């Protein structure tokens, strides 16, 4: 008799999915969106997940949904002291962290002159500065144990910018640079630490409500489940970089063109108008 696939958390688990049993995973921004979807996938594969998020109510909801292999920890990622305390509590419970996923991100969606200093500072604190604190907390033990993986969730907006994304894109460009420098530093010192960069186009999670794309077959607004599936597989396989969709890769070549020509091409493909109808949520 053919055995039916295991059903867990409402998903069918195909036998071909590699397990991550006994692995310890930390995910920031785990209470909703991509963080929650990734937590589901890692738990389904047998991992233990610690989720950091500022939203206590949603953390409790996710904890109830995912069971005892998920531990929610309330943490304001704009606050270095809270990050340090939260990471210390994880390490006290699970000294060996196998995978750290810096997933949390925010966007204000304001034009440059509408931004106030608080908008800019909060964006950078969540989208990139928090990475420094979380990685600093786990990297020494990863190096000592001889294995570990640092996952940086950036964005296609960290490769090509657009109006109303000055703060967001700047922070995501920084996140891309963070991943690249960290990767090269690990190689230079022969540390056995893997790094993975995830850089998707806009995802339909509500964070970028109202964004549009001129050519959906080239630059589609991505479905959260599809991004989560691909990101999960990329992390499992320790892929160095995942950029979605494939068309974003062309931007690396386009950037060698004269600036005016690059801007014209970006305008033609609607990149400069993606945020025109953005409605929020403003954070």
| Residue-range domains of the chain with CATH | 7-273 (3.40.50.720)
CA distances from 276 to 95, 112, 140 (A): 46, 14, 44
pLDDT digits (tens, 9 = 90+) for 224-257: 999 999 999 999 999 999 999 999 999 999 999 9
- Per the residue annotation, which of 8, 50, 133, 168 is the catalytic one? 168
Span 119-135, average pLDDT: 98
Residue 58 has pLDDT above 90, yes or no: yes
Residue 275 has pLDDT above 80, yes or no: yes
Span 174-182, average pLDDT: 98
Residue 115 has pLDDT above 70, yes or no: yes
Share of the chain above pLDDT 90, in %: 87
Amino acid 95: pLDDT? 79
Residue 17 has pLDDT above 60, yes or no: no
Q: Best-predicted range by mean pLDDT among 14-18, 181-185, 206-210, 268-272?
A: 181-185
pLDDT digits (tens, 9 = 90+) for 90-108: 999 997 999 999 999 999 9
Q: What would the DSSP string read from start to end of 41-104?
A: HHHHTT-EEEEEES-HHHHHHHHHHHGGGEEEEE--TT-HHHHHHHHHHHHHH-S---EEEE--
The residues that bridge with 27 in the sheet, in sequence order, are 51, 101
pLDDT band at 18 (very low <50, low <70, confident <90, very high): very low
Amino acid 281: pLDDT? 66
168 noted as active-site residue: yes
Amino acid 147: pLDDT? 94
pLDDT band at 20 (very low <50, low <70, confident <90, very high): confident
Say what the pTM is: 0.91
Amino acid 149: pLDDT? 97
Share of the chain above pLDDT 70, in %: 92
CA-based nearest residue to 57, from 78, 32, 34, 25: 32
pLDDT band at 19 (very low <50, low <70, confident <90, very high): low
Mean pLDDT over the full length of the chain: 92
pLDDT band at 22 (very low <50, low <70, confident <90, very high): confident
């Amino acid at each position: 008799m053919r055995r039916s696939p295991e059903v867990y958390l409402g998903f069918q688990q195909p036998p071909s999915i590699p397990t991550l049993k006994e692995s310890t995973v930390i995910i920031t921004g785990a209470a909703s969106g991509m963080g929650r979807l990734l937590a589901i996938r890692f738990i389904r594969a047998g991992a233990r997940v610690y989720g950091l998020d500022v939203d206590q109510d949603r953390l409790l909801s996710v904890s109830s949904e995912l069971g005892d292999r998920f531990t929610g920890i309330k943490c304001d990622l704009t606050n270095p002291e809270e990050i340090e305390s939260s990471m210390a509590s994880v390490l006290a419970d699970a000294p060996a962290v196998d995978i750290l996923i810096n997933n949390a991100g925010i966007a204000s969606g304001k034009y440059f002159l509408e931004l106030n200093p608080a908008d800019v500072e909060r964006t950078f604190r969540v989208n990139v500065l928090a990475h420094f604190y979380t990685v600093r907390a786990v990297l020494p033990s990863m190096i000592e144990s001889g294995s570990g993986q640092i996952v940086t969730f950036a964005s296609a907006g960290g490769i090509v910018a657009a109006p109303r994304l000055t703060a967001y894109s700047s922070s995501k460009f920084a996140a891309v640079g963070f991943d690249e420098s960290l990767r090269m530093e690990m190689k230079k010192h022969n540390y056995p630490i893997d790094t993975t960069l995830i850089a998707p186009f806009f995802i339909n999670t509500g964070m970028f409500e109202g964004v549009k794309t001129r050519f959906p077959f080239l630059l589609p607004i991505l479905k959260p489940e599809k991004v989560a599936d691909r990101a999960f597989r990329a992390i499992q396989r320790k892929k160095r970089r995942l950029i979605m969709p494939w068309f974003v890769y062309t931007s690396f070549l386009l950037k060698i063109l004269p600036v005016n020509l690059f801007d014209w091409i970006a305008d033609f493909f609607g990149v400069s108008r993606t945020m025109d109808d953005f409605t929020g949520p403003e954070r």
